[in-house]
Amino acid sequence: MILKDRNALITGASQGFGEAIATEFVKNGASVAICARDLDKLAQVEKKLKGIAQKEQRIIAIKSDISVENDVKKFIDKGIEFFGKIDIFVNNAGIYGPKGPIENVDSAEWEKAIGVNLMGTFYCCKHIIGHMKKNKYGKIINLSGGGATSPLPFISAYAASKAAVVRLTETIACECREFNIDVNAVAPGALNTRLLEEVLAAGPKQVSESFYNKAIKQKQEGGVPLDLGASLCVFLASTESDCITGRLISAKWDPWKNLEKYRDELDGSDIYTLRRIVPEERGKKWS
């Protein structure tokens, strides 16, 4: 129960990974407010969470479109009114956006993906940070993924927005360090959620033969368990991760369960960050 007496807001929590995060948070003692655009699915998750919550835990579901700034502000204001204080914010809501060669994608759909993945994260951070600064403490967890660390041909809006989310995370972490607000990004791994189903539905012509074949293999093998990434979010939301900030952490590949041991080594280093690589770092002497 390492999140006991903590209050969390979680976006995109009506299904998939967002639901998994909310479930793990409640299992670990947190009270949670969840949001999404689909009110029916949201109500089902709210009922489920209330069914596993202890008597002192509070659960609320609020319909919200995080790509609309006024919706974000209302979600946060209602959360603060309901709980009194917000300790944790998880920016989980995200979409793939259009798929295909850059010259063929619909520009409006490309912008929509940026609106959800990047602008939605920006709006949420913008409107919760003032509250956390007053409390001189907070945890912000932004969802990133493989699109942030390597090119993702034919899914360009997703890749660009997720890379931007990581640099936004690093930047906000620097701004908020003195207020004891930790801001980190999470790469949950290849999950078998609706995003995978989108790739399979798009087919190899839109997402490339190699990416499509990887998706088929992932579907068959089950992908990375949802609760692995959700457990990483629990760690980053707890006091165990205090002062670990400005990092992109992989649920599958990084030793995050022992990361508190390396807190001092992380501080001031560029480990788990996005950085430019120069020839000398690869043993090349081009100068």
Q: Which residues are CB-neighbours of 255 under 8 A, at least 6 positions away?
A: none
In this prediction, residue 2 has a pLDDT band, given cuts at 50, 70 and 90, of very high
Q: What is the pLDDT confidence band of residue 172, given thresholds at 50, 70 and 90?
A: very high
Decide if 283 is inside a domain.
Answer: no
Active site positions, annotated: 158
Q: For residue 115, give the CATH number of its domain.
A: 3.40.50.720
Contact 144, 165 (CB under 8 A): yes
Quick count: other Cβ atoms within 10 Å of Cβ 118? 20
Would the pLDDT of 195 be above 80?
A: no
Inside any domain, residue 259: yes
- 195 falls within a domain: no
Q: Provide the pLDDT for residue 198.
A: 74
- Domain assignment present for residue 216? The answer is no
Does residue 215 belong to any structural domain of this protein? no
The sign of the CA dihedral 261, 264, 270, 274 is positive
Sign for the CA dihedral angle at 114, 91, 173, 261 comes to negative
Residue 164 is classified by DSSP as: H
Q: Dig out the tokens for 277 from the structure.
A: 């690589």
Per the domain annotation, does 279 fall within a domain?
no
The kind and range of the H/E element at 81 are helix 69-83
DSSP character string of 215-229? HHHHHHHT-S-HHHH
Residue 194 banded pLDDT, cuts 50, 70, 90: confident
Task: Provide the residue range defining the domain that includes 116.
Answer: 7-189+224-273
**Residue 247: pLDDT band with limits 50, 70, 90:** very high
Supply 27's token pair: 């299992």
- 203 pLDDT higher than 90: no
Q: What does the pLDDT read at residue 30?
A: 98
Tokens representing 124 are 């949420």
Question: Chain-centre distance of CA 71, in angstroms?
Answer: 19
Which DSSP state fits 161?
Answer: H
What would the pLDDT profile of 18-48 be if each residue is shown by its tens digit?
A: 999 999 999 999 999 999 999 999 999 999 9
Single-letter amino acid, residue 96:
Y
Does residue 208 form part of some domain? no
| 244 conformational bin, left if phi > 0, alpha if psi -120 to 50, beta if neither | beta
Q: How many domains does the chain have?
A: 1
Q: Which residue has the tokens 């520009």?
A: 107
Measure the CA–CA gap between 51 and 282, rounded to whole angstroms: 53
Average pLDDT, the chain: 93
Q: How far apart are CA 262 and CA 269, in angstroms?
A: 11
End-to-end CA gap in the chain = 54
214 occurs within a structural domain: no
Could you tell me the pLDDT band of residue 147, with boundaries at 50, 70 and 90? confident
